[in-house]
Structure 1
Amino acid sequence: MRKKLHKNAALLVAATLSLSALAGCSGNNSEDNANKAANTTNKAAETNTAATNDTSNAAETTESTAPEEVTLEFYMPSPTANVNDLEAVLDKFYEETKDTLNTKIHFNFTTFDDIGQKVSLKLAAGEQVDSVFTAQWTNPNISAMISKDQLVNLDSYFNNDKYPGLKKAFTPEYLKNNSFADKTGSSHVYGIPFTHAFSGGATIYYRKDMAEKYGIGEIKSLADLEKFYDAVLANDKGIVPFTFNGSTDYVSDLLLTMTQPLTSKHNYMVNMGGTSVSVAIKPDGTAYAAKTIDGYSDPEFLKLLPEPMNTMDPLKGFKMVREWYKKGYLEKDILAQKDPDGQFMSGKAASVFRTLDIYSSESQQLETSIPGAKIGAYVITPGLMDGTAKAVGSDFKAWNFAAIPANSKNVDRTIAFFDWLFANQENHDLFEFGIAGKHWQAEGTTKYSYPATVDAATNYNFPGFTLTWNPTMVRYDSKTPDNIVTMLNNMGDTNFFYKMPNAGFSFVPDSVKTEVAKVSEVRTQLYTIGHGVVDDAAGNLTKIQKALDKAGYQKVVAEVEKQFNEFLKTNPYEGQ
């Protein structure tokens, strides 16, 4: 039931987060795009037009080699219905590439919870879709789309000198960690992965100005946080202390994260790969899959955990969140909350759960929305705040992807755009930040600031996690505190993390698809105890487990254990 807390979007990013993912991710199943998609990409790679040449050098040519103009249809989620001043940025792009790409782009924005279904309907109707945002946490997720032969196998476009921008920005190791298995267990690239870091950095953003008013100052511990919430309840009636998306991660998981002791052994995973199954590595190197939806409630799983976790109260998180709910720290109607960030930015909530990798945008938005407001960031991921190396685990996967539908007639033209986008920092920055000098200005090679004339409320605000985020091209707001910069840098450093035992593993649910669907439906009942809405967590958990077993949960558990043991034969646990 627990998972790595990640970008659920600015992300939720990411940042990320639906229940089928138990906090923003869903099952890592995969299937190849079959011969049709493979043939499409092979043919595209062999017959690529001038549009797929090295566009970074195209300006040097004296004769136009531009192909016929095409308009591409991109679908992606966004925190706002429309991106400010997007047309100006697109006009700049068209001006710079009219003699090379000769491509127009129509961005279609929708909500985070609607993107999967909206795209599915478009594809079913045979409408034009050339790039689609997808992830482990969308519904349907990227694996489900692969299993329906809906996505193009992109292997041939990467690590390929014909596409220097993609080759430079996406290393073979990065792509390997962001590939998905087909029916045979062979992994392929089905989506361009977007991330700034290898962990979102679970963070509670809070009103630092309010904390200072109460005499609390910077929040550095759970005790500080609860003291802050008590002060909010006592002094600011009508403001909820903590707002949270009721259909993503469980608040109980956040509380466990805040109180989880650091250990030197990391032989287990909870909600592995969004399967809802928790797995631990036994002393003989084989896997044991917990038989309960809440892994900690399975004694066999619990005793395999490193000390002192193997003696923890299995219901610890549920009990803590119930106390939070009863104290009034959470909204009474938390299950219906869909826009926690809106609550926070409007001044109706004193804190919100997001990820550290969106610090700059979160800070800018808050300080623009509420005059005099200051943002504080309490990083709850163990080891990240104090800089303890190898305390944070990662499977080195991104949580956001741009995929190309198999029925797109513009596969190579779409790839040509992405190749151009990552060909150099200037191309990338145009779409991530806007027009230099108008929307933003560079501060050296790693930071940026905004001109004094810029109105943040109307300034360019493209959701970069859907198109541009890449570990090799990161800039930080010049106002970002040094300690936050240090943490952000650590999050982009592979050496800072330990490799999770399931890194590179993708669950293929073909043999249990019916059970997975039924389990996903029943699993939504866990929100009531995961958010502390009801008493008797133990009794409710027992009832839910019985319903899950009736839906076929044990069959799913057995299949996950079987496939993961096969994976361990060639990817053994290394004692990390």
Structure 2
Amino acid sequence: MCKSRFLKFAVLLLMLVILTVTVLAGCKPAETNQPPATSTPAPTAAGSTEKPDETGGQTQEPIKVHYIFPGDPKRDDQMVIDAVNEKLKEDGVPIVFSREPLSWDIYFDKLNQKLMSGEEFDMFHIMQDLKPYNVYYAQGALQDVTDYVEKYGPVIKEKIPQDMLTGSSINGRLFVIPTYWVEVAADNYMPYRTDVFKKYNLELPQTPEQILDAFRTVRADWDGVNKPILNFSVATYDPNANHMFKIHRTYDRYPFVVKDSFFQVFQDGHVESWFESPEFKLDADFMNAAYKEGIIQPDILTTSGDVAKNLGIHGDSLMWTCGDLADVINNNPDADLDTVQTYLLAPDKPILRFWGVKNANGVSVTSKHPEGPVMFINWLWSSQENYDLYMYGIEGVHWRKELGNEERGLEWIKDPETNDTTYLSGGDSWIGNIDMVRYSSGAWNYYNKGLFTRNPDAVNSVAGSFFFDTSEVATEYANVQAEAAIVMTPIAMGVEPYDEYFDEAIARLKAAGLDKLVEEYQRQLTEFLEQQK
């Protein structure tokens, strides 16, 4: 009797175990070798995403995408972002977007603090001419977005040329989404004030010394507001940040570019130490002459974007740093859209594109949904309507299509109370695309023509799409950066004369590992160029 009852109980228990295991097995997800799965729907051909199944599937929980970029908050930022989120919802894209502008003066420090602390955010803006993405990669701050762009970014792949995608990749993997909003070869051209040149009967300077002579002539007999200066916005040893390459064209060994601040790269693939080159001395001597004569700010080592902007508003300009249209008109009411023009120094020499990628956006290593930024950018570039809303605000409230140029023209609508048009932070250079940029009626004509049209005469630098992997020389790279900021910035900006300070400065850089960096850069570039054949 007892044995029979025991057998019945054992059978019952065995059936219960089998049933439990079966249920649990049915709940276990299938293992794959694909990227970590998310609940995000697949993209549609239009570049948005499919709406959740309405016949029984669960509602998709929206992904939060938080974007950090340099700039100052503006009055209608939230109004426009609310409208963007409504449009995302209408298009079936499961994203709730937010953004956080950080003042230019604190952007890099604040961003670094967020990354170091592990603060959760999703996307941040990268400026190659100020802090290239290889620095963030070396810090481990970027996520690999290759598979996410493949899955969620068909429009991104359509809008970005392959050479730019190559220039955004490391070992064949994509780590940033380039912002193809501008023809980077336009940086070769020198802006100048036609009205001032005409007034003072000046010919276009053809050498750096003639540029200084033009400033000397104008400043000696200036009858306007504060005398024109070279209004640089950052004190740095990196020549790209202040567009020194405009005068590099006049040097005997051009064409070359300076990459990653330290490396002078010639078109045959040869690499030299930039600081030890004769061209660096030419730059330093030019800046020292300008500094001693007051042609650049006397407090140049502490300048900033805000300082430069203030000088632009309350000062005047001649060439190189010509200021915004509104600032020039503020001091010169007769100025019009053609008052500033451009020309090429050494026009017979090649027009180089210095960067394969100039600006870009990276997905933060702290993002829990790295597919989110990819989906947002794909949506943004999928229609002019989406692009206009995010970039320019609400049509009829913040802007209108320019009469006679409705396809690409833009006219800002002024606030009747403040007469202001600066409603929004950010802009095309942060996350835009050259095919969709609208030309503001308040911008210089040369600006629109040069920046938003591909230059058929330009050629790419051999290092334009090359990425320098600093992982094997990370210590030396960090040490040289730190030393250069201290000892080379004052020389590069003209405050300390080259002949007096250079020997000690270069000795410190060599002790920090400069020679090893140059050797490693040459090795990697040679290997890269061999792979391109």
Structure 1 unmatched ranges of 5 or more? 1-38, 298-313
2:229 alignment counterpart:
241
The number of equivalent residue pairs is 486
Counterparts of 1:552 and 1:40, CA distance in 2: 44
1:216 alignment counterpart:
200
Q: Does the CA-based 8 Å contact 1:193-1:399 persist in structure 2?
A: yes
Equivalences for residues 92-111 of structure 1 within 5 A: 92-99=83-90, 100-111=92-103
Counterparts of 1:132 and 1:221, CA distance in 2: 40
Counterparts of 2:415 and 2:502, CA distance in 1: 55
Change (3 A) 1:403 1:480: closer
Counterparts of 2:214 and 2:278, CA distance in 1: 29
Give 1:532 shift: 2.3
Tell me whether 1:68 sits opposite 2:61 in the alignment.
yes
Change (3 A) 1:120 1:315: closer
Tell me whether 1:227 sits opposite 2:214 in the alignment.
yes
**What is the CA deviation profile of residues 300-350 of structure 1, one whole-angstrom value per residue up to 9, with x for unaligned ones?**
xxxxxxxxxxxxxx7433333322222221222111111343233331353
1:128 alignment counterpart:
120
Structure 2 unmatched ranges of 5 or more? 1-30
2:361 alignment counterpart:
402
Counterparts of 1:215 and 1:41, CA distance in 2: 70
Normalised by the size of structure 1, how large is the TM-score? 0.72
**What is the CA deviation profile of residues 470-528 of structure 1, one whole-angstrom value per residue up to 9, with x for unaligned ones?**
122222224656555443355x34x3211212233211122222221221122222232
Tell me whether 1:260 sits opposite 2:249 in the alignment.
yes
Change (3 A) 1:138 1:113: farther
2:166 alignment counterpart:
176
Counterparts of 1:406 and 1:259, CA distance in 2: 37
**What is the CA deviation profile of residues 256-285 of structure 1, one whole-angstrom value per residue up to 9, with x for unaligned ones?**
73373499x96x6343x2150224466xxx
Equivalences for residues 308-327 of structure 1 within 5 A: 315-327=281-293
Change (3 A) 1:566 1:423: same
Change (3 A) 1:488 1:403: closer
Normalised by the size of structure 2, how large is the TM-score? 0.77
1:569 alignment counterpart:
530
Equivalences for residues 144-543 of structure 1 within 5 A: 144-158=135-149, 162-179=152-169, 181=170, 186-194=171-179, 195-199=181-185, 201=187, 211=196, 215-216=199-200, 220-221=204-205, 223=210, 226-228=213-215, 230-234=217-221, 235-236=223-224, 238-239=226-227, 241-248=229-236, 249=238, 257-258=246-247, 260-261=249-250, 269-271=256-258, 273-280=259-266, 287-291=269-273, 293-296=275-278, 315-339=281-305, 340-350=307-317, 362-364=324-326, 367=329, 372=333, 374=335, 376-377=339-340, 379=342, 382=345, 391-442=350-401, 443-451=405-413, 457-465=420-428, 467-478=430-441, 483-490=446-453, 492-493=454-455, 495-524=456-485, 525-535=487-497, 537-543=498-504
Give 1:77 shift: 0.6
Q: Does the CA-based 8 Å contact 1:41-1:156 persist in structure 2?
A: no
SS in 1 for 2:68: strand
Q: Does the CA-based 8 Å contact 1:53-1:163 persist in structure 2?
A: no
Give 1:57 shift: 6.7
Tell me whether 1:555 sits opposite 2:522 in the alignment.
no
Give 1:365 shift: 5.6
Change (3 A) 1:255 1:474: closer
Q: Does the CA-based 8 Å contact 2:159-2:433 persist in structure 1?
A: yes
Counterparts of 1:199 and 1:551, CA distance in 2: 34
**What is the CA deviation profile of residues 407-428 of structure 1, one whole-angstrom value per residue up to 9, with x for unaligned ones?**
3122223322221101111111
Q: Does the CA-based 8 Å contact 2:409-2:441 persist in structure 1?
A: yes
Counterparts of 1:208 and 1:57, CA distance in 2: 47
Instruction: Indicate the structure (1 or 2) with the bigger Cα radius of gyration.
Output: 2
Give 1:543 shift: 2.0
Equivalent residue letter for 2:314: G
Determine which of 116, 124, 146 is the counterpart of 2:108.
116
Q: Does the CA-based 8 Å contact 2:257-2:354 persist in structure 1?
A: no
Give 1:219 shift: 7.7
Equivalent residue letter for 2:512: A
Counterparts of 1:56 and 1:409, CA distance in 2: 22
Identity %: 19
Q: Does the CA-based 8 Å contact 1:239-1:348 persist in structure 2?
A: yes
SS in 1 for 2:464: coil
Q: Does the CA-based 8 Å contact 2:156-2:377 persist in structure 1?
A: yes
Equivalent residue letter for 1:89: V
